[in-house]
Amino acid sequence: MSSFLAPFKDSILLKIIIAIIAFLYSFIMNAQVEKSTDLFKTLAAKDSILFERTFNKCEVEKLDSIIAENFEFYHDVIGIQNKAASLNAVKNNICKNPGNIKRNLVSGSLEVFPLQNNRTLYGAIQTGKHTFQEKQLGVFTTVGITNFTHLWILENNQWKLKRVLSYHNLPYSE
């Protein structure tokens, strides 16, 4: 085999072609899914349950069915939480006074990247940005903006949120 490749060993053109093919393959295999796909729509709906229903409306019971038992939440300000600690934080902090804090997904920021094993979908990475608002003098005011990355895993044909990264938490300024 090495004698076959010997004439190409020093070929700059061959190296460029291989690099282009590798780049294109990597790009195609790791591209986010289109917003019109079932995967994107499903995980966007899960995002809505996670935040609109539980965070904004304090329907905390909705969280239990979409969060994996071995859930982990990594936050660059508050540290690491497991499932029990995260549910407790929502109940006793965010939802202590319902209707005073809101999370809003930044329009156009949501992206979904499928995870496959031998062409079988087993999970997805979901990224985006969201803002947080607090009610001040009866009016919601945007106070923060943050990036998030969610790892969703298919468990028994159900999407479960397994890992959350919340990072680059900043005060909001226009």
Tell me, what's the pLDDT at 1? 47
122 vs 77: which has the higher pLDDT: 122
Average pLDDT over residues 135-140: 92
Most confidently predicted of 29-43, 54-68, 114-128: 114-128
Query: What pLDDT score does 26 carry?
Result: 44
Beta-bridge mates of residue 103? 132
Rounded CA gap, 134 and 7, in Å? 68
Output helix, strand, coil percentages for the chain, rounded to the nearest 5: 35, 40, 25
pLDDT of residue 33: 83
pLDDT of residue 171: 83
Greater pLDDT, 173 or 135:
135
- 3-class state of residue 75 by DSSP: strand
Distance separating alpha carbons of residues 128 and 120, to the nearest angstrom: 24
Long-range contacts of residues 52-57, Cβ cutoff 8 Å, at least 24 apart:
54/90, 55/90, 55/94, 55/101, 55/102, 55/103, 56/101, 56/102, 56/103, 57/98
What pLDDT is attached to residue 172? 80
Q: Does the pLDDT of residue 8 top 80, yes or no?
A: no
Which tops the pLDDT comparison, 46 or 2?
46
